[in-house]
Chain A
Amino acid sequence: GAVVSQHPSWVICKSGTSVKIECRSLDFQATTMFWYRQFPKQSLMLMATSNEGSKATYEQGVEKDKFLINHASLTLSTLTVTSAHPEDSSFYICSAREGLAGDDTQYFGPGTRLTVL
């Protein structure tokens, strides 16, 4: 089956630093990659949708200057949390879709637990 990797799986950083999270589709080319955030006991919330070679589309309330997304190729997307603060501590998870039909599954990475001190 399709595999999506995500690194790092966890990261602890100091307030004010930037953190980069990588998401790779290992055995397929992803038309679209998604970035989600999950706070405790809440749903996965879509942060942004990215397509290779174009700017990401951010959801309402997500600051594009704080959460920089680069979709450099059909197999790699990165999320950089800039000037991280404790309120950015959360679980971040990416997914990738090969196509855009309703029955095209999204395949998830294992997620990244970010803790900002």
Chain B
Amino acid sequence: ILNVEQSPQSLHVQEGDSTNFTCSFPSSNFYALHWYRWETAKSPEALFVMTLNGDEKKKGRISATLNTKEGYSYLYIKGSQPEDSATYLCAFLYNFNKFYFGSGTKLNVKP
């Protein structure tokens, strides 16, 4: 079993704050890194799929970076809004079809 770690486990921020989380994964046998957003009682929703070292992806106020050589990815949220409250999961794709998930970062944005 490969170790994928996310930090922090939980985060409480005020509306308007910017925040970031970390996903650490093995630096060998890298295939892809996926980020998901999971709201309570809903299906996890794919945010980003990152495959190349140095990748930077952006969707609205959310962006992500990838460093495969050192084995980490950052997810940034600029100007957090209450609707950003969710658990953010990263998943390391070890080979073409096997995902290892971190335990997630639970974000709570207070109005």
Contacts and interface: CB of A to CB of B under 8 A. Distances in A.
Contacts of B34: 105-106
B109 interface: no
Contacts of A106: 34, 46, 91, 99
Nearest to A34: B99
A95 B101 CA distance: 13
A102 B51 contact: yes
A31 B1 CA distance: 24
A43 B104 contact: yes
Contact of A103 (B44, B45, B51, B99): B51
A78 interface: no
B55 to A, nearest CB: 10
Given A43-B4, A44-B89, A105-B34, A100 B99 contact: no
Contacts of B102: 43
Interface residues of B, number: 26
Interface in A97-117: 97, 100-111
Contacts of A102: 31-32, 49, 51, 93, 96
A101 B46 CA distance: 15
A51 to B, nearest CB: 9
A111 B43 contact: yes
A105 B46 contact: yes
Contacts of B59: none
A110 B99 CA distance: 18
B99 A41 contact: no
Contacts of A97: 97
6 contacts: A42-B103, A102-B51, A102-B96, A105-B49, A107-B43, A110-B43
Given A46-B100, A103-B49, A106-B46, 8 more contacts: A36-B101, A46-B99, A93-B44, A104-B49, A105-B46, A106-B99, A108-B43, A110-B42
Interface of B: 1, 4, 31-32, 34, 36, 41-46, 49, 51, 89, 91, 93, 96-104
Interface of A: 4, 32, 34, 36, 41-46, 49, 60, 93, 95, 97, 100-111
